[in-house]
A and B are shown apart, each in its own frame.
Chain A
Amino acid sequence: MIARLVAAIRDAALATVVAFGLFVIMVGLRTEVSPSGALFLQQRWREIGLLCALVFVGRLIIALWEIRPHSLGQSPRRAAFTLKLAQIFAPALMAAALVLPFVPGVDRYWLDLGILVLTYVMLGWGLNIVVGLAGLLDLGYVAFYGIGAYSYALLAQYYGFSFWLGLPLAGILAAFWGVLLGFPVLRLRGDYLAIVTLAFGEIIRVVLLNWVSLTGGPNGIGGIPRPSFFGLPFNMSGEPDTFAGFFGLEPDPIHRVIFLYYLILALALLTNWVTIRIRRQPIGRAWEALREDEIACRALGINVTTTKLTAFALGAMFGGFAGAFFATRQGFISPESFTFIESAIILAIVVLGGMGSQIGVAVAAVVMIGGFELFRDLQEWRMLVFGAAMVVIMVLRPRGLVGSRTPSIALGERKAIGASHVSEGRG
């Protein structure tokens, strides 16, 4: 016992020395710009002391409690348990999502948060097709989100398209770009694919930023038309041909928010439904086979080209839908909304959720985006907390929150298996 304590204290002391080395320059000396424009240094010894003390205590607790990362494999029993939990949890989550707008005490803030979370759920499910099912690592998914948003915004601005016309077109255009990107990267594997998709995302963003005559550049596009309820616009006038007037309701701005909430819920569920259905189709099984072993796929006569392209196109299409929704909800878009960090967040949601697991992705989106929102008061600290959370969750649960899978198709009883037995694909 004493030996353990001594070892823990020594460990913590070492960590503190390292922490001192890390912080002594970067935190202890802050560069400030003086009014004359010259730089000067400000000493902050108190902060260093505080951080070092924090590291010492934290490390001591970890060392004493022996908080260790989970083992990589998952036992079949635990996998089955997770699955059962998911079976109960999924309908509960679904029901909660359905009734949320009518729960007393749920105001505009919660609805907006719900819309945000659902947007990420949808994006996560869309990317899940590419990464989780087909095993193609895509770091530029936000490009399709951006293409969808800009497609609808530009169509509305130049040709006066309404949301309901713009939505499918945005999806189709994004899918088209997905195929266009898919063609050159067909031969690439794994990390090469990741870096090319990342480059593609950056190219799209830079073009949006610099093609000022078309996209307005950094100023973005404003005045994007709002969606109507089957032709009935939402406004405050209370005329018979508006939503409130037609149904004899008191005009209230919350109507539109509730409508947008159900709209994104429907879009997200559409993504989920299509994914679940397609997994049982030959093409969906081809995706999963491709993720497991590309060479075996080729040997079995699966057309790898069309398989990869359909995955890219379908994933991109849902990204495009989400983008069009984003544009109509915000009413204003600019390239700033489509930076790499968005791609990273969406990918993190997919991986943290346990790749390929639909419910896992939904839970991860709620945890990450909802958690991010919880830390709103922390202001600029929250991105730091967000990044740290990504690292910690990965270290503790490398297979994501839902680390088990059921086979899409099976003879007799379906057995859940630990995700560590599922290959993640080589791209």
Chain B
Amino acid sequence: MAYALQQLINGISLGMIYGLIAVGYTMVYGIIGMINFAHGDIFMVGAFVALISILLLIAGGVMDGPAALLLVLAISMAFTALYGWTVERIAYRPLRGSFRLAPLISAIGMSIVLQNFVQLSQGARVKPLEPQLVGGFEVMREGDFVVQLSTMQILIVLTTLVVLAVFTWLVTKTPLGRAMRACEQDRKMAGLLGINTDRTISLTFVIGASLAAVAGTLYLLRYGVIDFYVGFLAGVKAFTAAVLGGIGSLPGAVLGGLLIGLIETFWSAYFSVQYKDVAAFSILALTLIFLPTGLLGRQEVEKV
């Protein structure tokens, strides 16, 4: 029981990170209907920017307290957003309106470019960062087993909730959000009605990249080791989460992320660590076979 509770806590904090990345996938898919394959690598870039800014702050002697963490988050979001914008501008915008596979291939190319760019500029070695946030609470004790809720996990859940709340407000209440939803429904019509669709799509990428940067920062702080390859698997799993929740649906992405996090954690805890990815992917395949539109996805009406 206590063991299961601990896994639940771990699973939720991991799932939140997946959820944040998944939102970026689902937004881009919703608005231009393509898999942004480089998104996982944007997440990786976010983690690296956070790492470097933490090291800078440590060197400057100001790395402590929540203000410093907020600063790290802000730096990471700003610079990663620039990456998101550039990727869209270089690799996707010229292919707007082209046939469906072209942006996918250029996205895969961009993913390779980002990975190797970081490998070249930051080195291929794994970067270990000593824990910046220690401590936590004891939730429950059962015999020798102590259920821990660490400060870091609380931070992950709180940050994610705050970021998602801001994001939801942005999408539902602001003119930008309205423009985004309009583009999602019918890009041509939105353009006719005076929405600058190119700008809206760019901003979608910027927002998606900043969410990925938040995820990257949290990932770095929680796990403490990153390398240039960390984005691939996280990206694939986050995309799995987006599909599981129903691609195009924002709450679905978060729900899918949580589910993938929980499945992965429980599978590693009770069955085998090696096959945790197999578990996540099998669940994906099963969901799609029985629920082809995902959990919260809209049923697509086929028009002839």
Contacts and interface: CB of A to CB of B under 8 A. Distances in A.
A348 interface: yes
Contact of B53 (A25, A37, A188): A25
Interface in B36-50: 45, 48-49
A97 interface: no
B133 to A, nearest CB: 17
B67 interface: no
B127 interface: yes
A192 B109 contact: no
Given A31-B51, A39-B127, A191-B29, A199 B285 contact: yes
Contact of A206 (B34, B56, B124, B277): B277
Given A39-B127, A210-B274, A394 B105 contact: yes
Contact of B52 (A31, A188, A381, A383): A31
B113 interface: yes
Contact of B284 (A131, A199, A391): A199
Contacts of A37: 128
Interface of A: 18, 21-22, 25-27, 29-33, 37-41, 69, 72, 131, 137, 184-185, 187-188, 190-192, 194-196, 198-200, 202-203, 206-207, 209-210, 295, 340-341, 344, 347-348, 351-352, 355, 380-381, 383-384, 386-391, 394-395, 398-399, 420, 424
Query: How many B residues are at the interface, by size bracket?
Result: 35 or more
B304 A383 contact: no
A73 B49 CA distance: 41
Interface in B78-102: 79, 82-83, 86, 90-91, 94-95, 97-102
B243 A40 contact: no
12 contacts: A29-B52, A31-B123, A32-B123, A203-B277, A203-B281, A295-B302, A348-B105, A380-B116, A383-B115, A387-B115, A390-B108, A391-B90
A26 B121 contact: yes
A72 B108 CA distance: 21
B108 A384 contact: no
B281 A394 contact: no
B106 A25 contact: no
Nearest to B97: A72
Most buried by B among A72, A131, A209: A72
B132 to A, nearest CB: 12
B120 A390 contact: no
Contacts of B5: none
B168 interface: no
A29 B53 CA distance: 10
Contacts of A188: 288, 292
Interface string B215-256: 000000000000000001000100110010001000000000
B59 interface: yes
A31 B55 contact: yes
B51 to A, nearest CB: 6
Nearest to A427: B100
B292 A202 contact: no
Nearest to B243: A195
Given A26-B121, A190-B100, A395-B95, A390 B109 contact: yes
A39 B304 CA distance: 59
A223 to B, nearest CB: 26
B173 interface: no
A55 to B, nearest CB: 11
A399 B91 CA distance: 15
Given A26-B121, A41-B56, A380-B116, A420 B99 contact: yes
A33 B29 CA distance: 38
Given A25-B53, A31-B51, A391-B90, A198 B112 contact: no
Nearest to B110: A391
B106 A187 contact: no
B97 A184 contact: no
Given A41-B59, A384-B116, 6 more contacts: A25-B79, A38-B130, A185-B288, A344-B108, A380-B116, A384-B120
Most buried by A among B34, B104, B115, B277: B104
B120 A33 contact: no
Contacts of B101: 131, 137, 351, 355, 424
B121 A27 contact: yes
B200 interface: no
Nearest to B282: A203
A202 B284 CA distance: 13
A383 B108 CA distance: 12
A61 to B, nearest CB: 16
B7 to A, nearest CB: 21
A182 B230 CA distance: 30
A381 B115 CA distance: 11
